[in-house]
Amino acid sequence: MLNKILLLFTCLISATVTQAADVTVFQGYQTTGQGNRNSVLLKIKMPKDSVFIRTMNVTLKGNTLKNIEGIKVYQSTFNDFPADPHPQCLAAIKPKGNRLQLKLKASKTNKPAFLFLTADVCKNATQGDSLDAKITSMVINGHLTPVEGDPAYAQKIFKTQHFLGVPDTYGSHYYRIPAMVVAHDGSIVTAFDKRFNNLGDAGSHRIDLVVRRSIDNGCTWTEPLTIAQGQGQGTFDFGFGDPALVVTKSGRIICLSCAGNKNFWDGQADVAMMYSDDNGKTWTQPADLVHQLLDNQVDTMTNALRPYGFFVTSGRGICTTDGTVMFACNYKNAKGVIREFIMYSKDEGKHWTLDGNLAYLRADESKLLQMNDGRIMVSVRQKGARGFNMTKTKELDWGQQWRNGMLSGAACNADILYYSRETEGKEDIILHTIPLTIPSLQRANLCLFASKDAGKTWKNICQLQAGAASYSTMDRLPDGSLAIFYEDESNGVDNWTMNYILIDSKSLLKMFQ
């Protein structure tokens, strides 16, 4: 009799509680901004079979409740929530406590679908706080179903946050390679690759370069403007990619990029130049720059053989105090040895010189910085400790290269910036971004470092994104805020979203203390 009672009890329980079946909960994006709407906290991948969803039980974690105004649940067939122009809202509440029971509108999924748990962020949300939530269970097809709904990571709050290139928007699945400068009028100008449906690097398929601008510190942005359109055929205009931006002394914005139908490893040696004289609103057509450099200058260089590949590092160049524009260049010979050289222009891009002095041996993507005494520092992508070199004088007479273990992380394109200078009566601070990696990911844990002794020592002052993140660039705004533009891989491997975040000067100064 006892066995029969136990069997009946077990059957009753199984009628109301079932094990989670093909319900997978992923962390949403890992950054948000004050006042953002529908910021994705969690993404729920639903079963392939037809299911009815009625209820979602959620717990808000940490300081989430005090930093949000509302919680919503959406249904979509899109993997990336921002790409869906018309997601279906299933629930919307203003939470009064941390434990929520969300009653969803009758919703049926009859093909692969996603649910998105989103938050409306308070306009005065605390910068540096995190938003986080976990799903404990859901009512699916009438059954209370336990869910493993507490994935790793959370969502950090910044002054401003905006996605500029989202998979499956504007006719492209893949976006990569951030570049950004602040124009003389204070507007923010970004450029990046539009790679359509092929993730391959420049030279392997058609890639366009697009620009987006903001005149309000990144709160709103213009629609993407194509400044270099790949044809997918031919040679020079086959495709463009890996943009690098610089603002000249007069305010001209110069953009250099890869061009042609070969990638760097297969012998790419084409460079395109575009420029804007109206703060990034309009641009010249791409001009073939490389033949001016390579045909006339490379054969006379003493430290390298004629290149098998030539590549201008994406992100930012520099404009020195005397108006010289400089970019770091990877220069690979037929033996595969990569050396770093500097190309420069003293007339705002009309004529260019490829300097013959070796800046770094066995190099990779690099960034430049002018020191207070006029010397030039180069920061070089390396696996592990970051590579550096410094000129001996104001000329490009390089010293002995070194590695700095205080900046040790992934082999990844990063950025270095003089935030404030003692020569201007301010505290001397250099900033550096770099992904530090975590055991399961090669490019992750993107952090911001600061140096107060001209780059000798470094302190990690801010974790920008804990999870997967890759290339990054940054610049200072006129009000002292720090703008950072980087590749956010929150939404899956090789599924980059071009992410813009802003740290205001008050928050930044606290980090320096």
What's the burial of 271, exposed, middle or buried (CB within 10 Å: 0-12/13-18/19+)? buried
Clarify whether residues 301 and 251 are in a common domain: yes
| 4 in any annotated domain | no
Instruction: Give the CA distances from residue 103 to residues 71, 125, 339, in Å, rounded to whole numbers and listed in that order.
Output: 12, 26, 61
Residues in the chain, how many? 513
Residue 5 belongs to some domain of the structure:
no
**Residue 113 within a domain:** yes
What is the torsional sign of CA 447, 452, 455, 456? negative
Q: What angle do CA 158, 245, 167 make, to 5 degrees?
A: 55
> Binning pLDDT at 50, 70 and 90, where does residue 226 land?
very high
Chain segment 20-76, per-residue pLDDT in tens: 557 899 999 999 999 999 999 999 998 877 678 889 999 999 999 999 999 999 999
Mean pLDDT value across the chain: 91
pLDDT tens-place string over residues 125-135:
999 999 999 99
How would residue 293 be classed by pLDDT, with cut points 50, 70 and 90?
Answer: low
Last residue of a domain, one of 157, 172, 187: 157
- Count of domains forming the chain: 2
pLDDT category of residue 17 using cuts at 50, 70 and 90: very low
Q: Which residue has the higher pLDDT, 297 or 146?
A: 146
State the pTM of this model. 0.93
Residue 142 belongs to domain with CATH number: 2.60.40.1290
Positive or negative CA dihedral for 49, 154, 165, 158? positive
Q: Give tens-digit pLDDT for 136-172.
A: 999 988 889 899 999 999 999 999 999 999 999 999 9
Distance separating alpha carbons of residues 423 and 417, to the nearest angstrom:
15
- From 131, 157, 183, the end of a domain falls on 157
- Predicted local confidence at residue 89, as pLDDT: 95
Same domain, 200 and 286: yes
Domain holding 495, by residue range, is: 160-512
Do residue 365 and residue 317 come from a single domain? yes
Angle (CA) 309-311-315 rounded to 5° is 165
Q: Are residues 169 and 111 in the same domain?
A: no
Asked if 61 and 208 sit in the same domain, the reply is no
185-to-81, 214, 256, 281, 364 alpha-carbon distances in Å = 33, 11, 21, 12, 33
